[in-house]
Structure 1
């Protein structure tokens, strides 16, 4: 019989999914550090490219900026935590920090789905109603959509975290490598009906509603593509392919997270479970800047222009410096 422990008495959580890897922990730290650097550099670089290039100050790229900021936000809530835990010999986390991570990861997932839904709506207007696009997608509407993309998920995540932190817990051992909301709920000794009802409500609003909006948008887009010209199809493929790839990748990762705690996965190797649990937090922030940067021609050309200008400016500065040195040398010889 488990003794009931009030949540206010739980001062820390223990993450039991970590194992003693000996000297290999430094290898894991190096790999995770490299992945985090790639995520930060690639997302920040794409943000800079969009910000400095005025031709990219369009709704589609502004929504993409919101998505890239969310990738930085979500990865920052996961990677530093993983690095500290791998290097630490005691895998315990203060309760307050654990719930903070629950809030960060939950809001990250909600913002991701909301951003992808808004981007699909933007592509639907641009492809299906190109003549009315500028009139319907005004700067004020873009601002409202970006604000809703962040405001609503933050409120949902805050309420979810508050409900989880108020539960009475029977223990403090989480069988994961990070703090997950459902893993904490599984430790509860109290009635979780309100939490489960609210969780179902948020899943419907943050998952099914965006997916329905995305499906509706793409049904209309495909209908226009099949009945339109070859140029229309090429434009649709160029702008929609990275969005679809990002959506499918993120949906797969979220589906695994949802079903992992609700199905019997005891036969699956623990190392594979750990990798799959980190799938969304690692691959999604890496995939998005690469896919959007390579597939979308305007961003690709802007990246080339920015890099070429920097290279040319550096070469010109070095040439001018050498010219000044040679001029000063010739003057001194003449004297």
Structure 2
């Protein structure tokens, strides 16, 4: 009874990770702001270039635009609040704010994984069926697949949030610098079996489905590369390597962050939680725009051209 009464009195939750950063909070706040502004600037430039250049109105660049657009969602879900909290010295967050942040971060991760999976299939079609590619994967089909992805992820993640809302939460301390559904579930003083089953099932379906599809597409794409001309082969391999780098780095960091709670993460220290979650999420939102901006030649060329135009107009 005391636990239930305490749960109803909890108005704010304490992000213990912020307390661990207090001794250098101004330095960390500047770093967070610089990273955030850099990510947003680069992502906006990529999205603008893809939207503006008609030569980039192809499925591959539409998918890249969605990836970096989604990165803006993910980074905006935690970096601005992190910087503001560090500057102000605040370490609390409301339940509504916590749930909103968890929804934004986990939606970002899920959309990114499925977009990577669709991109792997798209490259398989482009290399394996070059003559039929433009009928198999049109811009309309690309946009439709992304629309379905966003709607599906929104529904599944919203259900996850609703399952958390129904819980009676008795604690108020979160071992992190941002909120996740698992960090709130750990505060529950009632059975969380439904949450655990739903979360684990959804995560395994998403991860295993993605890995199986991507690995199959990689193998088939590589086999197709062996049968085409040297010039085309080089271009296809370059694109494939770019995708492998971004996908593997994202999956490793995201899964490590996601599964730490399910693999006895409750016994990790606050400092360890902060290092894993902050480092993992920062890497996840930083790598994609950087790698695609640098390694995709057509995109890089037009980005440089656009930047020169902007600079010349403002001189």
- The TM-score normalised by the length of structure 2 is 0.91
User: Counterpart of 2:56?
Assistant: 56
Q: How much has 1:130 moved relative to structure 2? A: 0.8
Q: CA deviation at 1:314?
A: 6.6
Measure how far apart 1:264 and its partner are: 4.8
| Partner SS for 1:194 | helix
Tell me the secondary structure at the aligned position of residue 228 of structure 1: coil
Report what 2:226 is aligned to: 226
Q: 1:184-203 maps to which residues of 2 (within 5 A)? A: 184-203=184-203
Report if aligned partners of 2:225, 2:237 keep a CA contact under 8 Å in 1: no
Q: Which has the larger radius of gyration?
A: 1
Please state if 1:260 is matched with 2:260: yes
3-state DSSP of counterpart to 1:167: coil
| Aligned: 1:279 with 2:279 | yes
- Is the Cα contact below 8 Å between 2:62 and 2:143 reproduced in 1? no
Cα distance change of structure 1 residues 7 and 199 upon mapping to structure 2, 3 Å threshold: farther
Distance 1:6 1:190, change over 3 A: farther
Q: After the TM superposition, which residues 104-123 of structure 1 pair with which residues of structure 2 at under 5 Å, given as runs?
A: 104-123=104-123
1:235: which partner in 2?
A: 235
Q: C-alpha deviations, 1:144-192, integer Å up to 9, x for none?
A: 1010121111111111011011111221211111111111111112122
User: What RMSD in Å do the two structures reach over aligned CA positions?
Assistant: 2.4
Once the 2 structures are TM-superposed, how far is the Cα of residue 19 of structure 1 from its aligned partner?
2.4
Indicate yes or no: 2:75 matched with 1:75: yes
Contact residue 7 and residue 165 of structure 1 kept, 8 A: no
Task: Name the CA shift for 1:168/1:220 in 2 (closer, same or farther; >3 Å).
Answer: same
Range that drifts further, 152-161 or 226-235: 226-235
Counterpart in the other structure of 1:326: none
Q: Taking structure 1 as the reference length, what is the TM-score of the superposition?
A: 0.86
CA drift at 1:253: 1.3
Deviation, structure 1 residue 73: 0.5
Gaps of 5+ in 2: none
Contact (CA 8 Å) 1:14, 1:173: kept in 2 or not? yes
Q: Is the 8 A contact 1:7 1:166 kept in 2?
A: no
Alignment of 1:18-57 (within 5 A): 18-19=18-19, 24-57=24-57
Gaps of 5+ in 1: 316-335
Which deviations, in whole Å up to 9, do the C-alpha atoms of 1:106-152 show, x marking residues without a partner?
Answer: 11111110111111111111111111100111233122101012111
SS of the aligned residue for 2:132 comes to: helix
Change (3 A) 1:265 1:197: closer
The verdict on how the C-alpha distance between 1:33 and 1:132 changes in structure 2, with shifts beyond 3 A counting, is same
Structure 1 residues 176 and 314: CA distance shift in structure 2, 3 A: closer
Q: Which residue of 1 aligns with 2:142?
A: 142
Match of 2:17 in 1: 17
Range with greater deviation from structure 2 (96-105 or 7-16): 7-16
Counterpart residue number, 1:167: 167
Task: Give yes or no for contact 2:22–2:86 (8 Å, CA) kept in 1.
Answer: no
Matched-pair contact (CA < 8 Å) for 2:169–2:187: yes
**1:229-263, CA deviations, whole angstroms, 9 ceiling, x for partnerless residues?**
32233112221222211111111112211332234
* CA distance in 1: counterparts of 2:287 and 2:20, whole angstroms: 30
Q: CA deviation at 1:219?
A: 1.2
Q: What is the aligned partner in structure 1 of residue 304 from structure 2?
A: 304
Count of aligned pairs: 315
Residue 95 (structure 2) aligns with = 95
